[in-house]
Amino acid sequence: MKFSLSKFRSRRYLLTVLVVAGVSSGVGVWAAAKDKTPAGPEADAPAAVKPALTVTLAVPQREQWPRTIVANGNIAAWQDVVIGSELNGFRLTEVLVNVGDVVRRNQLLARVSSATVAAELAQSKAALVEAEAVLAEAGANADRARQMQSSGALSAQQINQYLTAEQTELARVNAARARVQADELRLSQTRVLAPDDGVIAARGATVGSLTQPGQELFHLIRGNRLEWRAEVTATELGQLKAGMPAAVMLPEGDRIAGKVRMLAPTVDAQTRNAVVYVDLPAETAARAGMFARGEFELARTPVLTVPQAAVLVRDGFSYVYRLDKENRAVQVKVGTGRRQGERIEIVDGIAAETPVIASGAGFLTDGDVVRVVEVADAAAAVGTR
């Protein structure tokens, strides 16, 4: 069988025609379908974007905040009085107070054995009586000698002897009186008394122990007055003066109002710090020996503040979120300053009239669409995303 070249060309031509016809038919169907697509605003409208979070807004507030100096220091007694016994080698027979007791001036705190001192006092008094009797006799003799001095019945030597004897016995009487006074003083020292009103801070006295010179039987916080000894730098010291208000924060969180009593006259050569003495009120939770932080109020200045929840710290910088016209969160870098309570000072970055997202800012990213609710509705919207 012979192959016909003309017949092959005819079949190839026919196949090409059929392919072109099929393509043309498909283009026509697509064009017809396109013509049926609705035109107008509905075709151009984008799909609705679901809010990422429900938030509340807060407008920055103008407030008057105090400018302060922050310091640390110890709480100590205004005056720590050491109470001891002036007797040496006498036994304590009774201790009447304990740590924490409130005492009054001249209140009896302890007793020392007084039997020996009382016996010595009785002996001194007896010696005084004897010396006074001898003085009376010597005085009578001296008076007679003075009366007979002009008569010549007694020699000058005898008269001088009588007068000298009178002076000698007078001196002995004075010495005996001094011994009586000394023994009376020693007897009074067997009663350990409070030198002033205050609170017993420490007790070293025990019944049966012997008293020693310099022994500390009790420590008394005089007047129950405490003070905060704050350390400040030399630069800060120049901004403070007596009578300024101060606030002391105790370790458990209590805040105590105090007043500057005095500034230290010198600056420590090692630390370059100075001590500021702040009087604290009575009947507080403060205790001597506490370490406390505090601040001194210098003046009040206007500041722009927002809730602390509105400020985020990322990579060492502070940010807030504001809203654009499409309710999208826009991240704004801000400068922050002092903190007070639940608010924080904004130094720069936003205007005073710019609302910021106050709740939920920590869950947002730049560009998120949010839904804004009123503060009253925020509780119902918690967890809505």
For 55-104, write each residue's pLDDT tens digit: 888 889 888 887 888 999 999 999 999 999 888 889 999 999 999 999 99
Phi, psi of 323, rounded to the nearest 5 degrees: -110, 145
What homologous superfamily does CATH list for 69-79+225-300?
Efflux pump adaptor protein, beta barrel domain (2.40.30.170)
For the chain, what is the total number of helices (H) and then of strands (E)? 6, 21
Would you state the pLDDT for residue 76? Answer: 95
The pLDDT-based confidence of 4 (bands split at 50, 70, 90) is very low
The three-state secondary structure class of 93 is strand
Classify strands 218-222 and 80-83 as parallel, antiparallel or unpaired.
Answer: antiparallel
Residue 191: CB atoms within 10 Å: 15
Chain segment 226-264, per-residue pLDDT in tens: 999 999 999 899 889 999 999 999 988 889 999 999 999
How sure is the predictor about 47, in pLDDT bands with cuts at 50, 70 and 90?
low
Q: With beta carbons less than 8 A apart as the criterion, state whether 219 and 82 touch.
A: yes
Of 316, 322, 351, 348, nearest to 334 (Cα)?
348
User: At 307, which amino acid appears?
Assistant: P
Span 220-234, pLDDT tens digits: 999 999 999 999 999
Query: What's the CATH fold of domain 53-65+302-381?
Result: 2.40.420
Residue 209 belongs to what H/E stretch?
Answer: none
Q: What gap in Å lies between CA 223 and CA 92, rounded to an integer?
A: 26
Give CATH 2.40.420.20 domain extents, the chain.
Answer: 53-65+302-381
* Range list for CATH 2.40.30.170 in the chain: 69-79+225-300
pLDDT, one tens digit per residue, over 301-322 is: 888 999 988 898 888 899 999 8
Beta carbons within 8 Å of 301's beta carbon, 6+ residues apart: 64, 65, 66, 67
Whole-angstrom Cα distance, residue 202 to residue 242? 31
Beta bridge partners of 331: 321
Contact 63, 345 (CB under 8 A): no
Tokens 């009054």 belong to residue: 104
The letter for the amino acid at 214 is: G
3-state secondary structure of 372: strand
Cα(301)–Cα(9) distance, rounded to whole angstroms? 100
* Range with the largest mean pLDDT of 107-111, 373-377, 380-384: 107-111
Residues of the chain with CATH 1.10.287.470: 84-198
Looking at the domain that runs over 84-198, which CATH code has it been given? 1.10.287.470
Give just the sign of the alpha carbon dihedral 281, 286, 289, 291. Answer: negative
Q: Are strands 53-55 and 370-372 parallel, antiparallel or unpaired?
A: parallel
The whole-model pTM stands at: 0.60
